[in-house]
Structure 1
Amino acid sequence: MAGWTGSIYNSIIRRNAVFVGVIFGAAFGFEIAFDVYSQRFWDWKNQGRQWKDIRHKYVTDEE
């Protein structure tokens, strides 16, 4: 193998433990990124209709 494919093979795929670790790490990172961006999208699309946005109209803080 030559070029960048050979370097990827030699650094990541050649050893099974490293390959599995990279897969799990990538999946974990993707899950966190997906959760963060889907929550932001949900908040953006439902702005003004969620409890955190209208709570001040219905709850009074008594101290």
Structure 2
Amino acid sequence: MALAKSVYNLLFRRTSTFAITIMVGAVFFERMFDQGGDAIFEQMNRGKLWKHIKHNYENKDEE
């Protein structure tokens, strides 16, 4: 209960800090969601993406 009261007094009591907390939280959530989605996509498509197979199609000069 003391933790909840501390968080309330620190972040949610004033409108300005509440708004800043929401904005910062939204930015962090967006970054984590985006990176998580990219990681899941790459895991599901491992071996099918260009960065995984481009060595098969690149010309190597033997000089």
TM above 0.5: yes
**Gap change, CA 1:25 and 1:61, over 3 Å in 2:** farther
Deviation at 1:61, TM superposition (A): 4.7
Aligned residues: 61
Gaps of 5+ in 1: none
Q: Give the letter for the 1:22 counterpart.
A: T
Provide the TM-score with structure 2 as the length reference: 0.80
SS state of the match for residue 48, structure 2? coil
Gaps of 5+ in 2: none
Q: List structure 1 runs of 4+ shifted beyond 6 angstroms.
A: none
Instruction: Name 1:7's counterpart in structure 2.
Output: 6
Moved more, 2-11 or 26-35: 2-11
* Deviation by residue 1:4-60 (Cα, 9 ceiling, x = unmatched): 443333222221110000001111000110111111100000000000011011112
Provide the TM-score with structure 1 as the length reference: 0.80
- For residues 26 and 8 of structure 1, the distance between their equivalents in structure 2, rounded to whole angstroms, comes to 14
- What is the 5 A alignment of 1:19-58? 19-58=18-57
SS state of the match for residue 59, structure 1? coil
